[in-house]
Amino acid sequence: MPILKRRSAMKRVRQNKRRRLRNRMNRSALRTAMRRFAEAVKAGPEQAKVALPDAFRALDVAARKGAIPKKRADRKKARLALMAARAAGPASGQAGTPASAEPPAGTGGAVGQAQPQAPAQP
């Protein structure tokens, strides 16, 4: 570690160390919650339903504390909700598309939009 000469630089090093440790703790708690949710999804839909709020809470806390960006937390929450819905399956009354549904071939993923056609050859 370099020898620092200014008091403000020394203070900045102390602050960075505290923040780094706090962020590591928050990210570790987040990873633990994500792992528990993944295990719950494998165990069954009821356990996934119970573990989902805990995972959401961990993401919200990590975002609020600045350990991860807010938009990343929102994106992960959307994906976790999708995982929980897929684990529940269509028989439990969950609205949505089945996991294997894909847009028709040749549409380029844009459903309902006209695709340019090649001119007819005479």
Residue closest to 89 by CA, chosen among 44, 119, 54, 58: 44
Q: Residue 80 is inside which H or E element, if any?
A: helix 70-88
Q: Is residue 96 part of a domain?
A: no
Ramachandran class of 91: left when φ > 0, alpha when ψ lies in -120 to 50, beta otherwise: alpha
46 Cα distance to chain centroid = 20
Q: Which domain holds residue 65?
A: 7-89
The residue assigned the tokens 């001119």 is 119
Q: Answer yes or no: is 61 within a domain.
A: yes
Tell me, what CATH number does 30's domain have? 1.20.58.110
pLDDT tens readout for residues 12-37: 999 999 999 999 999 999 999 999 99
pLDDT tens figures, 64-85? 998 999 999 999 999 999 999 9
The pTM for the full model equals: 0.63
Residue 38: inside a domain, yes or no?
yes
Inside any domain, residue 27: yes
**Tally of domains within the chain:** 1
Q: Is residue 80 part of a domain?
A: yes
Residue 111 lies in a domain: no
